[in-house]
């Protein structure tokens, strides 16, 4: 698929998402259908969207626009994970939107995190200087900037290391440059802080 077709498809998905969000009845129906379709997702992301594995992200409370763009990235090969690539390609546009709306409607549970106060303080300083501009001072994100607050610590560490090594390139994303400037200790510290948020 060409870049313009890919951009048009993403735009169409966002339009569908927005139309469902603007209608209480359509939103209620989408969440119900998303819940029915989410059965397979629960094995890794938890029945309630809170990850059951430390290296897998929570989907609960995530921004629906971010989720649908990630489904697109997986289905188009812009982001790779063997399981997610296969699943995303088999989801219809409607199913992607419904799943995104369902997961965004769920509450986030606090993740288990380190009690290392030194890492907490260092992580907070790093987060405020390098992450808060896009992800918000409380890590709640906005639109296509993901919610980080409460994500599993190992998932944050793995994601930052992947960006640092150039293994994940998202068009227009500042993340590779930000992660490249972080040491191993700084990555660990910011992950501890994000998980505690």
Handedness of CA 85, 90, 93, 96 (dihedral sign): negative
Task: Answer yes or no: is pLDDT of 1 > 60.
Answer: no
Task: Answer yes or no: is pLDDT of 97 > 90.
Answer: yes
In tens, the pLDDT along 121-153 reads 999 999 999 999 999 999 999 888 999 999 999
Angle in degrees, CA 190, 51, 105, rounded to 5: 100
- Class at the top of the CATH hierarchy for domain 3-104: mainly alpha
Radius of gyration of the chain (CA): 17
Handedness of CA 195, 136, 31, 96 (dihedral sign): negative
Contact in structure between 164 and 182 (CB atoms under 8 Å) = yes
CA atoms in the 13 A half-sphere facing the CB of 136: 13
Q: What does the domain layout of the chain look like in residue ranges?
A: 3-104, 117-196
Cα separations in angstroms, 29 against 33, 60, 95, 98: 6, 18, 12, 9
Q: Which CATH architecture has domain 117-196?
A: Orthogonal Bundle (1.10)
Confidence of residue 158 (pLDDT cuts 50, 70, 90): very high
> What's residue 92's pLDDT?
93
Confidence of residue 3 (pLDDT cuts 50, 70, 90): low
DSSP lists the bridge partners of residue 142 as 145
Helices 153-164 and 184-196 cross at an angle (nearest 10°) of 140
74: burial class by Cβ within 10 Å (0-12, 13-18, 19+)?
Answer: buried
In tens, the pLDDT along 61-76 reads 999 999 999 999 898 8
Record the pTM.
Answer: 0.89
> What's residue 26's pLDDT?
96
């Amino acid at each position: 698929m060409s870049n313009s077709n890919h951009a048009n498809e993403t735009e169409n998905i966002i339009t569908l998402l927005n139309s469902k969000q603007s209608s209480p009845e359509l939103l209620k129906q989408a969440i119900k259908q998303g819940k029915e379709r989410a059965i397979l997702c629960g094995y890794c992301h938890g029945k309630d969207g809170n990850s059951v594995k430390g290296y897998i992200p929570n989907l609960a409370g995530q921004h629906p626009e971010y989720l649908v763009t990630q489904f697109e990235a997986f289905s188009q090969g812009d982001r790779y994970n063997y399981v997610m690539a296969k699943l995303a390609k088999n989801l219809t546009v409607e199913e992607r939107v419904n799943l995104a709306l369902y997961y965004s409607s769920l509450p986030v549970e606090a993740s288990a995190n380190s009690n290392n106060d030194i890492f907490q303080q260092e992580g907070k300083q790093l987060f405020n200087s390098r992450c808060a501009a896009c992800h918000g001072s409380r890590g709640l994100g906005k639109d296509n900037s993901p919610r980080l607050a409460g994500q599993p610590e190992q998932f944050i560490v793995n994601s930052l290391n992947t960006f640092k090594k150039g293994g994940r390139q998202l068009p227009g994303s500042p993340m590779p440059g930000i992660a490249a400037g972080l040491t191993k200790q700084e990555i660990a510290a910011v992950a501890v802080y994000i998980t505690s948020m």
